[in-house]
Amino acid sequence: MPAFQEEACENALFQAKWPDGFRCPHCEGSSFYRITSRSNRVFECRVCHHQTSLTVGTIMEGTRTPLEKWFSALYLMQQGISAKLLAEIIQVTYKTAWLMNHKLRHAIQVWDESRPLKGELQLYGDFYARPAMSGVFDPPDQRDQPAVVGASIDPESGGVAEVKIKRLPHGEFRRRSYDVECYGTFLWRHVTDVKSEIHSIEIVKQSDSEGVTEIGLIWRGVIGWLARTFGGIGPKHLQAYLDEFCYRINAGTNAFATLLNLCGITRTVTLRALVNKRRAVRSVRWTGQSNIRKKNVS
């Protein structure tokens, strides 16, 4: 891992937050003083004398953790490590590391929501079952989480261009049912609403193609990562981990730079909001075109 220096991190976050240069949040003025007596992170507008902090409006807002530790967390998210290991590496408490990782996942989720799938789509439904070894008691209805791996397929290569893995409402997706209706909530929320941009929807069946198709392998990959790194994840935060996994695939070699930019422009989320997150996924009926070409691979 690179050795991050506090001042270089401040400059990099400045770039991510204000790619076109400083902008006073009060008067939009572009010239500023650095208030060095308090911290390099505080700026005063030369026009209206409004003072603003570098971290205001970013994912790091309100943090007391040095930016160099944040940058290490950003860097390590490329590998997908647990809060326990992160806490050891960057020398913070487990609670701080947990919150940092979840704030980064929040930035990823905001990004994910702005990128609906389109074009040629493949869908693959399955159930995520937390391994019993985690020692956590889950009521039966929360043990198996229906989820869908959805991908935009690159028409040239036939490979996955962009992937999302999303929980589905209980009851919507049923085993051995491959009707497109079973994926209504996914299509409603995560696929473009410009119907002409959806060219085809292919439901990939599990029984005979498991482990063969690329999205089947992605599904295996996420299950393996969750088991190895966390001993499995409960329903409440599962979606955030699924999004983190897809982020690594979608951002590829730009994962660190993209996440840094996202941190600079995404408003933070509080611990309370994270803890109060609803665990249920609501069902939405998809009213898509009925003339979309459905390809069932058997």
**Chain contacts with Zn ion (rule: CB under 5 A):** 24, 26-27, 29, 45, 47-48, 50
> Going by DSSP bridges, is the β-strand pair 119-129/32-34 parallel, antiparallel, or unpaired?
unpaired
Q: Which residue has the tokens 């995404």?
A: 266
Q: Between the CA of residue 196 and those of 120, 165, 179, what are the distances in Å?
A: 11, 23, 21
Token representation of residue 62: 């309100």
Closer of 23 and 199 to Zn ion (Cβ)? 23
CB of 33 to Zn ion, least distance (A): 11
Residues in CB range of 119: below 8 A, 6 or more apart: 152, 153, 155, 161, 197, 198, 199
CB of 48 to Zn ion, least distance (A): 3
CB of 15 to Zn ion, least distance (A): 20
Closer of 55 and 101 to Zn ion (Cβ)? 55
Closer of 49 and 175 to Zn ion (Cβ)? 49
* Angle between helices 94-113 and 83-90 in degrees, nearest 10: 120
Closer of 27 and 297 to Zn ion (Cβ)? 27
The β-bridge partners of 202 are 122, 295
Closer of 32 and 178 to Zn ion (Cβ)? 32
CB of 22 to Zn ion, least distance (A): 10
Token representation of residue 28: 């939009």
d(CA 100, CA 271): 10
CB of 50 to Zn ion, least distance (A): 5
